[in-house]
Amino acid sequence: MALKNDLELENTREKLRMLTERYEESRRETGVDEHLRALSQRTLKRWMNKMQEEIIRYEIQRKVTASQGEESLHANVTQP
Does residue 16 contact residue 58 with C-beta atoms inside 8 Å?
no
In angstroms, rounded to a whole number, what is the distance separating the alpha carbons of residues 53 and 6? 15
Q: Tens of pLDDT along the chain (80 residues)?
A: 799 999 999 999 999 999 999 999 999 998 889 999 999 999 999 999 999 999 999 999 999 988 887 776 556 655 55
Cut 0.85: pTM above it = no
- Cβ burial of 20 (10 Å; 0-12, 13-18, 19+) is middle
Please compute, for residue 63, the number of CA atoms within 13 A of its CA located in the half-sphere on the CB side. 6
Residues comprising the chain, all counted: 80
Q: Which residues contact 71 (CB under 8 A, 6 or more apart)?
A: none
Q: Spell out the domain ranges in the chain.
A: 6-78
